[in-house]
Amino acid sequence: MDVQQNNPFQTPQADLQPGITTQSPLYSIAGVGLATFIGTPLAGAWLLAHNLQLLGKADRVAMVWGISVVLLIVTLVLAFVLPEEVPALPFAIAQLMAMIMLAKNLLEADLKQHTEAGGAYLSNWRAAGIGLMFTIGLAALMFAVLMIFDI
C-alpha cells in the first residue's frame, strides 16, 4: 500500500496553465467599439473595466477610465470651440479608434486565450444597450447643466 496515494493531506495535483482564464463571459473588442460608438468612450471604458476586473487586471481600470474621460473632455471642448461647419464624424471616429486600439492593447491576448479555452462572450446587443444608457445619461447631465447655468 502506497502512503502517497492514500494521504488525505496531500495537495491535489492539477495542470497549471499560464495566464488567467475566467469562466465568466467577457465583452469582445467589437462590443467595446460598438458601445464606444453609441455611448462615448465612457461606455467603452465600462466594458473594458468589466473585462479587466474579471481577468484579474483591476490595476489597469483607473488608467482606462482616465483615458476615456480625457477623450470625452477633449471632444466636448472641441465641439464648443470649433465652428459649426466642422463635421463631428471625424471626432467620433477618432474616439472609436482610440478605444479599439486601447482594448486590443490591453485584452487581445487574454481574449484569444479565453476563446481557445471555450470561454463565452456577452452579446454585442448588450454592449449597444450599455452604450445607449451612457448616451441617455450624458444627454440628461448636459441638459441639466445647461438649464442650471442658463446657457
Comparing CA positions, the residue from 54, 30, 25 lying closest to residue 131 is 30
Task: List 26's β-bridge partners, or say none.
Answer: 121
> What does the domain layout of the chain look like in residue ranges?
29-149
Average pLDDT, the chain: 88
Alpha helical stretches, state H, the chain:
29-54, 61-81, 89-116, 124-149
pLDDT 10s digits, 47-87: 999 999 999 999 999 999 999 999 999 988 988 898 989 88
pTM above threshold 0.95: no
* Model pLDDT, residue 21: 53
